[in-house]
Structure 1
Amino acid sequence: MTITWRSATVDRVGARWAGSVELSATLLDGPRAGERVKALAHPDLVGEPAAGDRVLLNVSALARGLGTGGYALVVALPDRLPPDPAPGPGHLVKARYTPLQTMVLGVDDQESPHHDLLAEADDLAGTPVVVADLHSALPAVVAGVRAQAPGARVTYVMTDGGALPAAFSRAVAGLREAGWITGCVTTGQSFGGDLEATTVHTGLLAATLVARADVVVVAQGPGNLGTGSRWGFSGVAAGEALNAAAVLGGRPVAALRVSEADARARHRGVSHHTLTAVGRVALAPVDVPVPDAPGAFYDGVREQARSLCGRHRYVEVPAAGLDEALAASPVRLSTMGRGLEQDRASFLVAAAAGRHAATLLT
């Protein structure tokens, strides 16, 4: 395990969204000393950066060209540490035993005002739970819900397979600001949601019993770890989340990962990630929705979806109106750098899952 460290000076403070701020910084050391880089800080963790500050950066992923949005990550403002937090309740530690572990008040914590509600909670009472592999599916699923049931309350449950801080997600910030989601519940090692939960199970229960969600959407945070192997990808946890929804008496709905533009054959049509997570990991019966869109590509997707449905339930969903719902998204639709025009199928299939979930409310 290695970390590539750099010192830098903040040149300019740029765009910000809930819990995050972009910086332009000049590297002070290493082979690229003098070069400007784009950096990201989470002020709740490291304090509020300003022009002229010296910052300590983790540039490991940036140096390797990995998918972190092209950011160096601010670890500390060593010359201007933030003040100690005010004393308060909460003893859940997240990002545990990393240098930036953070302590939060869990919704299921003994000190939480919701502890008594959740202590023996065990039933989602049939609440639809849409589970997606990629974070990029979140706004598309919500668009599909709203196309069918505009007034439905949708809550996002974030798992810890991708980014750990919810603040990294511009989609969450934008959807919350637009009123498209009631909030975010961060589970496992992920943190920074409107509610914090210890596990996916308590996150689902909190979404329904505390946030009063009509529909819950589960997905990992931004970023996705994949190795090109059958089992070596973070989205395998989507199958486990579908199982959790079923165990708790919810109505699990699988949002298939689909692409018509990915250069990798294993991700075109229904992704091999979905075939593993839904076909092999999800042991309880789940709904598998696909849109009734015309064309040979969608015929192939429907055929692949039916192949998953030995124990699962195949559902064909009207596609009419979903393109308009997607175009109305308050946040940019993007998956692996491709927008709605470049990879319509990715978003249309996710929206179909949302529309189907909304039909289960009636």
Structure 2
Amino acid sequence: MLRWERGTVTGVRTSWHGVERLHVELDGEDDEPAGGETVEAIAYPELTGTPARGERVLLNTNALRRELGTGGDALVVARLDVLPTSAEPAGHMIKARYTPMQTMVDAIDDPDSEHYETIRAAQDIEGMPVVVADLHSSLPAILAGIRAQRHSARIAYVHTDGAALPAAYSRAAARLREAGLLAAVISTGQSFGGDLEAVTVHSALLGARHVVAADVVIAVQGPGNLGTGTGWGFSGIQSAEALHATAVLGGTPVATLRVSGADPRRRHRGLSHHSSTVYGRATLTPVHLPLLERNYHKYNGFHASVREQVKTSIMEPARARGIEHQLAEVDARGLRDALEDVPVRLSTMGRSLAEDPEAFRYAAMAGRCAASLIP
């Protein structure tokens, strides 16, 4: 069910490419156009155009009223007095299909795309490393690790559709793109709004290699990971499919371990049960599992515990199913400086780099591991 409210745009907040952040004064009682509360709202110009101050808008306020964290803004569904200018894509691919906001895009695997012949002819991704993670907050940390090992590496981000569907919603990806640290953002499945669009993760990986000429890919869902506290009910489970796509296409899959030294939830302390489930039980191909090397000067009981968790909850269950993952010893020297140099704010579940350094350290180690595997 949707919760609808109407209001008037009263101001503009800090925005970025693909996202307009607005102040909207909601209608008061009896549908008066003024007198209600002012809320924060998001508009996607690709869908609605850009509402101006004084415009009347229709909002979906489900997330706002439920006081969700990530994604807890009101969303502009329509401008009540203005019909946006519509662009006409060359192709026929529709995303957010069969919803009132379905949108047409020019996908790289569409027959009308300029890249169609390249994608149709591509057979594999030529050993390219693909780093997979379940939390979007890992993206800048993985990138930092890649650049710490291979500063000039050309990096593409594949935005999967497990969480936020608009790729533009990721302020981190937008900032990294503006800074020239990401060569391209490719939105896949039902997600949309990247520099390039793809129908599947498979075609996105082929596009990253053969259209973007990427050396390495980071594949992760957008902001807003959905978890339920159950063993299998979390959106990051789709990480397994990205690993499978990588292996099928002749790439090198690298699995980011979700680790925390500060999460108050026991199931996510040390090695998260999400990583145990995805890599130990759901993944059907061997992957590289980056761990802190033992001779690192800060190796301690925490890291030894994580190593043991990886062996008992990932390696052994996978081996029982005939899957032999490979532990990758990673030198973490210099990674803290690399993380601090990233031009975006590092935050995972509301915790900063200072508050939960290991969460970001392990993501950066996955990046460094992948960079060392670039053919």
State the TM-score, normalizing by the size of structure 2: 0.93
What amino acid maps onto 1:312 in structure 2?
H
- Partner residue, 2:206: 205
What amino acid maps onto 2:26 in structure 1?
L
- Partner residue, 2:86: 84
What amino acid maps onto 1:355 in structure 2?
R
Deviations 1:217-272 (A, max 9, x none): 00001111111111111000001111110111100000111111111111111111
- Partner residue, 1:121: 122
Deviations 1:267-324 (A, max 9, x none): 1111111111111111110000022341211111121223322310011100110000
Between 58-67 and 168-177, the greater mean CA deviation after superposition: 58-67
Write out aligned runs for 1:222-241 (5 A): 222-241=223-242
> Does structure 1 retain, via aligned residues, the 8 Å contact 2:46–2:193?
no
**Runs of 4 or more above 3 Å deviation:** 29-33
What amino acid maps onto 1:295 in structure 2?
N
- Partner residue, 1:360: 373
1:305 aligns with 2:310: yes
**Alignment RMSD (CA, Å):** 1.5
- Partner residue, 1:13: 12
Identify which of 37, 51, 59 aligns with 1:49: 51
Between 187-196 and 309-318, the greater mean CA deviation after superposition: 309-318
1:317 aligns with 2:330: yes
> Take 1:179 and 1:149, find their aligned partners in 2: how far apart are those partners?
15
Query: What is the Cα deviation at residue 33 of structure 1?
Result: 6.7
- Partner residue, 2:142: 141
3-state SS of paired residue (1:212): coil
3-state SS of paired residue (1:17): coil
What amino acid maps onto 2:135 in structure 1?
L
- Partner residue, 1:346: 359
- Partner residue, 2:39: 37
> Does structure 2 retain, via aligned residues, the 8 Å contact 1:243–1:284?
yes
Query: What is the Cα deviation at residue 68 of structure 1?
Result: 3.3
Query: Aligned pair in 2 of structure 1 residues 232, 88: CA closer, same or farther (>3 Å)?
Result: closer
> Take 1:88 and 1:352, find their aligned partners in 2: how far apart are those partners?
40
> Take 1:306 and 1:143, find their aligned partners in 2: how far apart are those partners?
26
Write out aligned runs for 1:178-189 (5 A): 178-189=179-190
What amino acid maps onto 2:169 in structure 1?
F
> Does structure 2 retain, via aligned residues, the 8 Å contact 1:94–1:189?
yes
Structure 1, unaligned runs of 5 or more:
none
Query: What is the Cα deviation at residue 63 of structure 1?
Result: 0.7
- Partner residue, 2:166: 165
> Does structure 2 retain, via aligned residues, the 8 Å contact 1:38–1:70?
no
> Take 1:128 and 1:267, find their aligned partners in 2: how far apart are those partners?
27
Between 130-139 and 115-124, the greater mean CA deviation after superposition: 115-124
> Take 1:161 and 1:284, find their aligned partners in 2: how far apart are those partners?
21
> Does structure 2 retain, via aligned residues, the 8 Å contact 1:157–1:184?
yes
> Does structure 1 retain, via aligned residues, the 8 Å contact 2:96–2:103?
yes
What amino acid maps onto 1:45 in structure 2?
L
Between 264-273 and 114-123, the greater mean CA deviation after superposition: 114-123
> Does structure 1 retain, via aligned residues, the 8 Å contact 2:89–2:105?
no
Tell me the percent identity: 55
Query: Aligned pair in 2 of structure 1 residues 77, 328: CA closer, same or farther (>3 Å)?
Result: same
Residue-pair matches, total: 360
Query: What is the Cα deviation at residue 121 of structure 1?
Result: 2.2
- Partner residue, 1:63: 65
Between 302-311 and 341-350, the greater mean CA deviation after superposition: 302-311
Query: What is the Cα deviation at residue 48 of structure 1?
Result: 1.1
Query: What is the Cα deviation at residue 120 of structure 1?
Result: 3.8
- Partner residue, 1:277: 278
> Take 2:11 and 2:364, find their aligned partners in 1: how far apart are those partners?
38
Structure 2, unaligned runs of 5 or more:
none
What amino acid maps onto 1:52 in structure 2?
G
3-state SS of paired residue (1:342): coil
